[in-house]
Structure formats: structure tokens, C-alpha cells
Structure 1
Amino acid sequence: MLSEQSATTVRATLPAVGAAMGQITERFYARLFEAHPELLRDLFNRGNQASGAQKQALAGSIAAFATYLVNHPDQRPDVMLDRIAHKHASLGIVPEQYPIVHEHLFAAIAEILGDAVTEEVAAAWTEVYWLMANALIAIEKRLYARSAQTGWREWRVVGRTEDTDDVATFTLRPVDEGPVPGYRAGQYVSVGVTLADGARQIRQYSLTAAPGAPERRFAVKRVTGDAATPDGEVSGHLHAHVREGDVLQLSAPYGDLVLEDTDAPLLLASAGIGVTPMIAMLDQLAAAGHGAPVTVVHADRSPAAHALRTDHERYAAALADARTVFFYEQDAEGHGRPGRVDLSEVAVPAGTRAYLCGPLPFMRAVREQLIAKGVAPADIHYEVFGPDLWLAQPAAEAAAAAA
């Protein structure tokens, strides 16, 4: 994929570029939004920009892609590319936007690295960028072609329930009363809202009903910020202002963490609002009459904070061979096990396929425990809400450490 000459140059400069990637992406976004303020207002997640999460994810993904190219010259990291492409498709990213990113990204590289960016270095990293960009464009084109919906569609809220103090579930049907296209359990939709300052912000929410339902249903946790992270703009807006009868714009369903058709034993592990894709998976398994063992693991602050707990228990109880193991940091007595997830006493059948969703520390801990129990790494799948730092961060850190 990467030419031999460029591979040699990228391998030699990867430590320096990786070490400076944080500064590069910082400068990139500043340039991009100065030239195109509408992108920050109407496309990019302003919360992730403010917290620095999006900058970290971009830096890591570029470093991860370049590292993979030089270490595996005849392959490409399709898992990472598919994940990014699904998110891009849910936002409506188009090929014409990639040259804009290239322009400002490489201007930022030149500003930060200065004279170190020779013509040879610029050419090599340009090749890396367009290999990644063209791969994403091709995947996104296929996703758009397969989708029954083009662009945004208006959906009316026909139901709202308060699951916990900070989680609300919204049920919607299309305003045009047309057919509701199918999706795969585990996928999400993008929701676009216009905020008080006129900005149009977009967020993704996992669908919580089995495919085939005559509506869209998703749960939204109100994001409360802290010193490092602002309050959630869209989640706060949905909680405060959206009621039955209101209209929202939704994308087609996307997402690469999907429940495969399998007779294998399954383990569905979630924490907090990460429960949402697992509910759809359980609903589908119950409807399909899945007969193999299913282990349902969930971690939360307390039983009262456990969103969709009734559905969690109901769908699991409908399966032929399923058990739930809930962990609570508070008020666990009579409801589950105390403390954080500990699988030491949880039986995991041979051949288990696992699906994880929750904060990164939770998923890393569960993954390590599952591997120790003999689950193959290739059979452990995950979903990250927000910028994906799992795959990207280690590569960026490794590149920086080599400097």
C-alpha cells in the first residue's frame, strides 16, 4: 500500500511526528475553524473540542494508521477505518471535505515541525494521509449506497420516559409516516438539534429496540461536566426541551459493533449508559430464541442509577439459558454484587463471543479478565461512546515514546 520510499521516510520520522502530533492537531483545528467556523458550529462536537478528546483521537488515529502501514505494508487497519467511516457516515461527511482537512493538517505540520518537513517528508506523509482518506471515502460510499435513507429525516417524538434521574428514553416515528428502515442490533443514529445560540450540534445514540420495531427508540444520559469537561450541550437540550410532539432530525443507523448471527455462547458486558446497545442485542436474542448460554454483566453506581434495568432483566429472563450479574458501587445488597466488575466467579463457556460497551477503564479491565479466562481476543468486540481512544491512544503513545 505505502510505497517503499515513503515507508522508509515515515518509519524514520514517525517518532518525531508522533511526539508532536498533539501540537499538530491543536494547530490544525485552530486553522480549520478559523477558515471554516461553520464546521465547529454545525458539525464538530464542541464538547469534545473543548475537552481535547477529539484532538487526542485524531492524533492517535493518524499515528496508528501510519504505524500500521510501516509494520504491515501489505495490509490496512480495517477495524479502525470501519469505525471511523461509520461515524463519518452518521454525520454526513462527504469526499469534498477531505481536501480541506488535508490543507489545514499539513499546514499545521509545517508550522509545528518547521524545517524538518522537507519535500520528501511532506510527500511521504501526504501519501499516508490520502491512503487513509481514500480508504475512508470508499467505505463511506458503500455505507451510503447500502442505506435506505439519504441525508437527514424528521422524526416526531411519540413517547418519553424517565428511566433514572439523569436518563430519559425517547421513542420516535417518522413525520412523513413512511416505512422505518431496518438496522442491526448495536447500531446508533445521529441526532441533530439546533441550540439556543443557533448552532446545529450532532450526537450519536444507540438504538435500544430490536431491529424490526416500527419506531426508533434511544436513551439519553444527561452529561454533567466538571473542571475538565463541559456539560453536554445536546443531552442537556434533549432533557430540558424535548417532549412528545417535538420533531428531531435523525440520520440512518450506523455503527460497526453489531450482533452477529451466531449459535455461540455470548457475554454482553456494559457499564453506565453503555447498557443501551446491549438492550437491543438482548431484545433481538430473545425474539430469535437464542438457545446458547448468554451471560449479562453490568456495572453501575447503584441500582437506582441503572438505566433500562427492567428491560435488562426482562429480555434476559426471556432467553432459554441466560443469567444476569450486576455490580453496584453503592446499595448492592439484594440487587447485585458490591464493587466493580470481577469475573473470577463468573463462568465463561468455551467459545464465548463478548460484546463490551462502557468507559475505557471498564472495558480494558473486562477484556483482560476475559482473555485470562480463555476468550480469544478476536472474539471480544467493543463500542466507545465519543472519540475512540482505545485503538488510537496506544499507537500515539508508542510513537511519542520512540522519540
Structure 2
Amino acid sequence: MLSAKSAEVVEATLPVVGAAIGDITSRFYDRLFATHPDLLRDLFNRGNQANGTQRQALAGSIAAFASALLADPDQRPDAMLARIAHKHVSVGIADDQYQVVHEHLFAAIVEVLGEAVTPDVAAAWDEVYWLMANALMAVEARLRVEAAAGGDPADLWRPYTVVTRYQETETVTSYLVRPADGRPVPASRPGQYVSVRTELPDGAHQIRQYSLSGGADGALRFSVKREPGGEVSGHLHDHLATGDTVELAPPLGDVFLAEGDGPVLLASAGIGNTPMIAMLDHLATTGSTRQVVSVHGDRDQLSHAFRADLEQLTAKLPNATAHVFYEQPLGEWPADRTGLVDLSTVTVPAGTTAYLCGPLPFLRAVRGQLLEAGVPARDIHYEVFGPDLWLGV
């Protein structure tokens, strides 16, 4: 994939580029949004731009891709590309935007590194960029066709009517929605998410991803946690009511429950249990006899969304157990289930495939505990809400 000449140049310059990548991505986004303010207004997550997480994610993905090419020039890091491609399709990234990104990214590289960007250096990193971009465009084209399910792959947005809304906890609301255009509900896999596009008071159309937490015949259910300062989550909580119309893109996401009969461990923290509830619901609905271990961590019983769902779905499965940890439990609670999630107190069956969802500190801790328990890294899959700052792990 990466030519020998370029590989040599990239390997020599990766430490310099890596050290400056944060400054490069910051300059890149400043240039991009100055020239194309509509992208910040209607495509990029303004919250993630403001807190810097999107910039960190871009920097991490570029460095991880370059490092992967150097480690194995003949192999493409498909797992990393798939995750990015699903997110791109979910928000409507188009092929022509890769050229726009290239223009401003390489201008930012020159601004930051100056004379160090010789023609050979520029050519080598140009090769890296287009290897990544062309691979993503190919994956995204296939995903758009699959997601369109016979519709227009160029426009995946559809109107949905809110059938009802449920107040799961003080900060979590679930919405049951049905297609307003009369077409069938798109296919989904347990663990995937939908993108929701909403118009805010300033006229901006912001997009957020929310995991599917279940559904009903001809309907989808997604759940939203009101985040402090979250302009979209707050708007949905305050204004999206039964009978309203909302725009959704088809279900996407590269982390979903794989078919099989081996043991499964579902580990989550906080609102990270939404995809896990969808997986449990699928297992119960299909009458699965797989051994299922659910592990969830939360602040207390009142903040634990889908607490009743977890109990009911676990009871429906013949070979399932649930282990809930509360940091500050209300009333009596087992001492070995008080505090942060600790898998050393949970039996992890041999041959387990694990699915994780929650904040990064939780993911790091639980992944480490699973590795110590003997679960191979290839069998540990994770989903993180927001920009993936863990690419390459």
C-alpha cells in the first residue's frame, strides 16, 4: 500500500508530525471553518469542537493510520477505518469534502512545520492522506448503499414521528419513533446507533448519534441523556414531544452483537447501557440460550436508566446473570457491588466475547480487567459516545 520511499520518509518524520499534530489539527479546523462556516453550523458537532475532543480524535486517527501503515505496509487497518466510515455516513460526509479537508489540512501542516515540509515530505504525507481518504470513500459508498435499502444513497435522512416518550430517569429520556413517510423501519443490528438531526433556535442543524435502546413493531427507540451544557440533548428533552417529527439517518455503527452461541459479556457505565439493553432485548426476543453476563456501573439506583429492563430481560434468558455496581448506593447494597465496576468479583466464562460502552476511564479499566481474566484483545469490542479518542487500541 504505502510505497517504500514514502514509508521511509513518513517513518523519519512521524515523531515531528506527531509532536505537532495537535497544533496542526487546531490550525486545520480554524482554516476550515473560516472558509466553510456552514460545516460547523450544520455538520460538525459544535460541542465537540468547543471542548477540543473532535480535534484530538482527528489527530489520533491520522497518527494511528500512519503508524499502522509503517508497521505493516501491505495491510490496511480496516477496524479503524470501519469505525470512522460509519460515523462519516451517519452525519452525511460526502466524497468531495475529502478534497476540501486535504486543502486545509496540508496548508495547516505547512504553517506549523514550515521549511521542514520539503517536497519529499509533502509527497509522502500526501500519499498517506489519500490512502486513508480513498479507503474511507470506498467503505462509505458501500455503507450508504446498504443503509439506503433501495432508497437514495445520497440522502439518507428520513422523517420520523414520535409515538411516545418515556422519562427513564431525571436526565434520560427515551423516544419511540415511527417512519412518517410510510416506508418500513430500516434494518438494524443490536448495538448500533441512529443520527438525529435537529434545528436549534439559532437556525443551525446539529447532528448527534444516539444508541438504539430497543424498539417495537415498525418503530425504533433511542435514548438521550441530558448533558450539562448539551445544546442538542437539552433541546430534545425540552422540545421533542409526542406527535412531533424528527429527522433520523439509518442505523449504523461497527460495534454490534455478533451471532453465535458462545458466552457474551456486556459491560457498561452510565448511559453506556443503551446499546447493551438493545443486545439483551435481541437475545431475549430470539430465545437465545447463550451464557450472558451483564455488568453495569452507575452512581446510584435513581440514576440507573433501564434498571427494570435489565432485570426483566435477564429473567427471560435461561443462562444470564446481571451484576450492578453503584458508587453511592441508596439504602442497603452488597459491599462487593459498591464502588466502581470490578470484574475480579465476576466470573468471566472461557471463550467470552465482550462488548463495552461507557466513558474512556471505564473502558480502559474494564478492558484491562478482561485481558487479565484471559479474554483475548480481539474478542473485546468497545463503543464510546462522542469522538473516539481511543483509536488504534
Structures share a fold, TM > 0.5? yes
Determine the C-alpha separation between the residues in 2 that align with 1:213 and 1:277: 18
Percent of residue pairs identical = 61
- Per the TM alignment, residue 104 of structure 1 is displaced from its structure 2 partner at its CA by 0.2
Q: Deviations over 1:17-45 (max 9, x none)?
A: 00000000000000000000000000000
The match for 1:216 is 220
The match for 2:361 is 361
- Secondary structure of the corresponding residue to residue 284 of structure 1: helix
Runs of 4+ residues deviating >4 angstroms = 332-336
The match for 2:296 is 298
1:53-92 mapped onto 2 (5 Å cutoff): 53-92=53-92
For structure 1, list consecutive stretches of 5 or more residues without a partner in the other structure: 225-230, 395-403
Answer whether contact 1:302 1:329 (CA < 8 A) is retained: yes
- Secondary structure of the corresponding residue to residue 390 of structure 1: coil
The match for 1:401 is none
For structure 2, list consecutive stretches of 5 or more residues without a partner in the other structure: none
- Choose the corresponding residue for 1:196, options 201, 211, 225: 201
The match for 1:249 is 247
Question: For the aligned residues, what is the CA RMSD?
Answer: 1.2
Answer whether contact 1:303 1:335 (CA < 8 A) is retained: no
The match for 2:342 is 342
Determine the C-alpha separation between the residues in 2 that align with 1:217 and 1:172: 6
- Per the TM alignment, residue 353 of structure 1 is displaced from its structure 2 partner at its CA by 0.6
Q: Deviations over 1:23-78 (max 9, x none)?
A: 00000000000000000000000000000000000001000000110111111111
The match for 1:277 is 275
Q: Are residues 213 and 278 of structure 1, via their aligned partners in 2, closer, same or farther at CA, if it must alter by over 3 Å? A: farther
Determine the C-alpha separation between the residues in 1 that align with 2:222 and 2:372: 34
The match for 1:9 is 9
Residue 187 (structure 1) aligned with residue 185 (structure 2): no
Answer whether contact 1:164 1:306 (CA < 8 A) is retained: yes
Q: Deviations over 1:145-175 (max 9, x none)?
A: 1122542100011101111110000111111
- Per the TM alignment, residue 334 of structure 1 is displaced from its structure 2 partner at its CA by 4.3
Determine the C-alpha separation between the residues in 2 that align with 1:303 and 1:183: 30
The match for 1:33 is 33
Aligned amino acid, residue 128 of structure 1: V
- Per the TM alignment, residue 291 of structure 1 is displaced from its structure 2 partner at its CA by 1.0
Answer whether contact 1:266 1:354 (CA < 8 A) is retained: yes
- Choose the corresponding residue for 1:153, options 143, 153, 158: 158
The match for 2:116 is 116
Determine the C-alpha separation between the residues in 2 that align with 1:180 and 1:255: 17
Aligned residues: 386
Aligned amino acid, residue 389 of structure 1: L
Aligned amino acid, residue 292 of structure 1: R
Aligned amino acid, residue 226 of structure 2: R
- Per the TM alignment, residue 312 of structure 1 is displaced from its structure 2 partner at its CA by 1.4
When the two structures are superposed, what TM-score results if normalisation uses the length of structure 1?
A: 0.94
Aligned amino acid, residue 266 of structure 2: L
- Per the TM alignment, residue 177 of structure 1 is displaced from its structure 2 partner at its CA by 2.0
Aligned amino acid, residue 372 of structure 2: A
When the two structures are superposed, what TM-score results if normalisation uses the length of structure 2?
A: 0.96
The match for 2:379 is 379
- Per the TM alignment, residue 335 of structure 1 is displaced from its structure 2 partner at its CA by 5.2
- Secondary structure of the corresponding residue to residue 168 of structure 2: strand
